[in-house]
Structure 1
Amino acid sequence: MKRAIIAGAGIAGLATALRLEQDGWRTLIVEQAPARRGSGYLVNLIGPGYDAAERLGLLPVLAPKSLGVFTTVLVRPDGSPKLTVPAAIAEAALGDRVLTVFRGDLEAALFDRVRAEVRFGTTVTAVDQDPSSVRVKLSDGTAEQADLLIGADGVHSRTRSSVFGPDFRVDFPYVVAAFPLSDRGHEGATTYIDVGRTASILELGPDRSAAFFTYRCADPEAELARGPAAALGDAFAGVPFAADLPIPGDVYFDRVSQVVMPRWSAGRVVLTGDAAWCVTLFAGHGAALALAGADRLGAALAGRDDIPAALASWEDGLRPLVIRRQAVARRGMTQYAPPTRFHVRLSEMTMRAVTLPIIRGLVRRAVARQSH
């Protein structure tokens, strides 16, 4: 029976463990965080991501958690409506095989299904390998041996830096924040777009509400050092409906980065998810790619003893999709943080245009092409 050590208990790591376990692998997951984390932002499972969720048996668990489609209202700084995009627009563009859930709900569904031992508060501190196995030292003082080490430890991956080097993260002059909201008695989705910044608030009732912020800044590191409350308060000053939100302790607050690598594997070590190809939240397909990557990795490894060859085959098949999603994300940066007032108006014109039936059909076909 083959054994895999997986660094990271997020979507990519848990999905990979679940997929390998379906083929009889034994798995050990190590996670730097002291406990399983929840997140407030939304993830869309579409195209290969939806297909992978189906094959992993997640749809019956996730379907009751689905947020469905909803009307979005583009607002002015005071929250007054400027433009409404009906739910039917999103439904027409995305099609039937799509699932929108909170990231925390997806992670919980995966966590409940894996059989792996999960060691929280633990990281990989050293890696050594030969043609027959890979050996790791862990921060809890133990040493483990396996057939495969999988780095699924996110955009700031320690596995990546220790095995492949530190020079593959590409940082952009933006930060993002996302967090759950307590029920405030409202209902609906509102979005405010201005030069260099976007605030989006989704309120669908208890445990179904969240906020998303992003803005352009000269020094993302300095913004992160200030903390989310101070940084967001200043960045969205003059936008009352956004600036006055209470920020919980489990806020996601980070710089916007992509990971661009020539290879995702070296011998018996492979990276997956954001550790290998982070596309940023601007792409909107990070969770879907993590699931698809896990599903395809399991398929590539199934029944094969030549693990390096299987990893190379997996990468050859997945890389074109990743490249397309990363390109979409780079273009999307001007949509989430428009550089000029002209770009703001252009974004509004685009939103108005998608309400037209002929444009709606074109958008649906374009999304279908990008997702496969």
Structure 2
Amino acid sequence: MDTASVKIQNTESREALEEKVAKLTAEVKQMRNDRELLLRNAAKNRIFLDISKELASSLDPNVILRKAFQQFGSLIEFATISVLLYDELEETYRLIVQPDAPITEQFQLVLKNEICDLFEDYPADPPFEGLDIAEIFSLMPYRPEAAKVSEYRHVLHLPIILAKNVRGLIHLTRLGNLPFTPQDLDITSEFTGIFVISIKNALIHKKTEKLAFTDALTELFNHRYFQDALKHEFLRTKRYTKSLSLMILDIDFFKKFNDTYGHQTGDKVLQHVSKIFKKSVRDHIDTVARYGGEEFAVILPETTLEGAAAFAERIRKSVESCQPDFVETENKITVSIGLASTSMTDCETYSELIEAADRALYRAKRAGRNRVEEYRETAVSKADS
């Protein structure tokens, strides 16, 4: 064999060897990549498992989302995360999480009704085709400062689907020059799938719970809820030595409305007075309940007898001045109110506080109705003025 032939064979052998080495190197690299992918997926699955466990531990939608987002941050990098979720109880879209909002407003912001209209016009599949996300977020009652908005260079959004209907939106923002990737989209989609089930269960629980503690006619809390709430507030008042006042209200001559106009009008009277209550009380502080029949009760935490008396007088005047058109002038709706407060009684139990307010209400009726009566050692009346 001549030298030229040997050189050719050596070259071919070298090329074949180099090809095998390159192939093995590529296979090793692929194995490493596969291993890294498996490790990442395993870590991701562990986090999703932790998220699922966390979500299963609560039936409060706000708690569920807070817990989920704490762990979601370890899966994907983002600057802000917001969730719009349809609230069936309020029949509107609610901003559940907006980290840039003041903490006191973070879970209480109700979106403008225009957003509902936007959602209704777009199908779930494909998600939000043609929907202007900027338009949605421009309708929010709270938005980050303009300077911050300009820094959010990349946006990722996914619909929240419940029963094949769009019931919300997840909105992610990212700073800098790192755009969202298809992998980010997949992770966000998986994350959405996990907590949507928990959110759905939480909303069903919330709705069921509300129905169990709500009077169907007036949509106020019922007697059962009132008893539990008053007991809780009474114990808290005793523990922290604060004032607690209770107001029991009775619609004057209510039987007359039923006898004169029928029971349907009587129901309207109850609803009319209930609406005045709802507009007058402090949200998330006072508790308004239908006590029974034509009687209502209001729990006023951290309120002295004097403060409760001023509030009761405003209620009395509002009822007297705001007459509905379904009753005649000579049959005006008025109310009698009895007040009791821990600041003026030595009640040992919440039942004694109810009894004291009942006694004051009885005095108001005997004194001519359409008045406020306070329970003290010596009864003090606030006559009709």
TM-score over 0.5 for the alignment?
Answer: no
Alignment TM class, shorter chain as reference: under 0.3
TM-score, normalisation: structure 1: 0.23
TM-score when scaled to structure 2? Answer: 0.22
Larger Rg: 1 or 2? 2
Higher relative contact order (CA 8 A, sep 6+): 1
**Which structure shows the higher strand fraction?**
1
Give the helix-richer structure, 1 or 2: 2
